[in-house]
Structure 1
Amino acid sequence: MKINTLLTILLLFIATVGYTQIKYEAKIDSKYKSIQLDDGSFKYVKYDKKKQTIFIYNIDNTLWKTVMLPLPKNHLLDEVKLISQTTFNKDEKVEVVYSCLEFTVPDNFEDPNVDYSKVNFTLNVITETGESLLKVDNSNMMEIIHTKGQTKMLIYKHVGESFNNNDETLIYNLP
């Protein structure tokens, strides 16, 4: 009887320990950004500044897609906002929404003691082949919403050069 009880406890202990431990799998560089696609799968994204390219990896760290980001002259990548396969087109191509920025100094800027530069944003929607689906100047924020059976994209656009201006929200109907 004691042996059966001990064996039962030992088997329960081994079964519990075998299935409840947290197991280290791998690490990724802090420069990666995790995203969730519209089908629910997770991916990691890393940007190569020199090649102006994003590399999209599966959760097991295998390369899934490579997309070159066409940045306007003198612009830097601000942020990858969305990666999708069905939000803008119903084909299998990946679509990427990203913002980029440019720092400019006004021509009449003469006082070297004043640190003033203007930031110009651009929001871009492209396919994985680099085809431009949309470009909005003076914007770096967007949101996808679902309402009454429709999908809309809201793009928040900066109007004017100061934060006191009334900004605009551009509304786009998505397929």
Structure 2
Amino acid sequence: MKAQILLAGIFLFISVNVCAQLKYEGAVSSMYKTFQLDDGTIKYVKYNKKEQKVFVFNLDKTLWREVNLPLPEGHQLDEIKHISVHTFNKDDLMEMAYSCVKYKIPDSDDVREDERSPMEFTLNIINETGDSLLEVLGSHDMKIVHSNGQKNLLVFKLIGKHFDENRETLVYSLPSGK
């Protein structure tokens, strides 16, 4: 009888664990941004403003990469847009696309109330050594699209000093898989 109860308990334990669909693994602070690489690996990213460094962590919260973030003079990080390894070139270095912004304060005290303070955006793509792969002045948005078996990078650029002015889309071809 004890053997039957023991076997029934083991069977119940195994069936509950095998059929379980969701398993809580923990929480990640909202200070981190999450990215999924092309190979499906999930990474967490945290920016240290004081040191101007980006820390990229594995899912188990171990450090994967640490990158010095080159910002143009007077600019601040706006947003990290994309983290990858083989999206922008075929080497094995991590690549990061990010936007930064510089707020320009008007020179005159005579600024009208309806006049907006211009902002200067730059979209950058660098590798983990800090080498620049692309810099687009006047842009802060991008999208990677797949079409007809080819990958392209669309960079949305503002033309003028305000958001309601003309825009253009710059199209870059991306290398095919490694």
**When the two structures are superposed, what TM-score results if normalisation uses the length of structure 1?**
0.87
Q: Which residue of 1 aligns with 2:73?
A: 73
Q: Structure 2 matches for 1:78-97, cutoff 5 A?
A: 78-97=78-97
Distance 1:164 1:116, change over 3 A: closer
Residue 153 in structure 1 maps to residue 153 in structure 2: yes
Answer whether contact 1:66 1:128 (CA < 8 A) is retained: yes
Q: Which residue of 1 aligns with 2:100?
A: 100
Q: Structure 2 matches for 1:1-175, cutoff 5 A?
A: 9-19=8-18, 20=20, 24-111=24-111, 116-175=116-175
- Secondary structure of the residue aligned to 2:12 is helix
Give the deviation of 1:84 after TM superposition. Answer: 1.0
Out of 124-133 and 107-116, give the one that drifted further: 107-116
Out of 156-165 and 72-81, give the one that drifted further: 156-165
Give the deviation of 1:10 after TM superposition. Answer: 3.4
Q: What is the distance in 2 between the residues matched to 1:38 and 1:97?
A: 15
Distance 1:113 1:148, change over 3 A: closer
Give the deviation of 1:33 after TM superposition. Answer: 0.7
Give the letter aligned to residue 81 of structure 2: K
Q: What is the distance in 2 between the residues matched to 1:34 and 1:65?
A: 14
Cα deviation 1:34-58 (Å, max 9, x = unaligned) = 1011111111100000111100011
Give the deviation of 1:165 after TM superposition. Answer: 2.0
| Identical counterparts, % of pairs | 47
Give the letter aligned to residue 15 of structure 2: T
Give the deviation of 1:146 after TM superposition. Answer: 1.4
Cα deviation 1:52-83 (Å, max 9, x = unaligned) = 11000110111010111100111111111111
Out of 44-53 and 115-124, give the one that drifted further: 115-124
Q: CA RMSD in A?
A: 2.5
Number of aligned positions between the proteins: 174
Distance 1:164 1:115, change over 3 A: closer
- Secondary structure of the residue aligned to 2:125 is strand
Distance 1:93 1:105, change over 3 A: same
Q: What is the distance in 2 between the residues matched to 1:11 and 1:129?
A: 53
Give the deviation of 1:102 after TM superposition. Answer: 0.9
Distance 1:18 1:152, change over 3 A: closer
- Secondary structure of the residue aligned to 2:129 is coil
Stretches of structure 1 that go unaligned for 5 or more consecutive residues are none
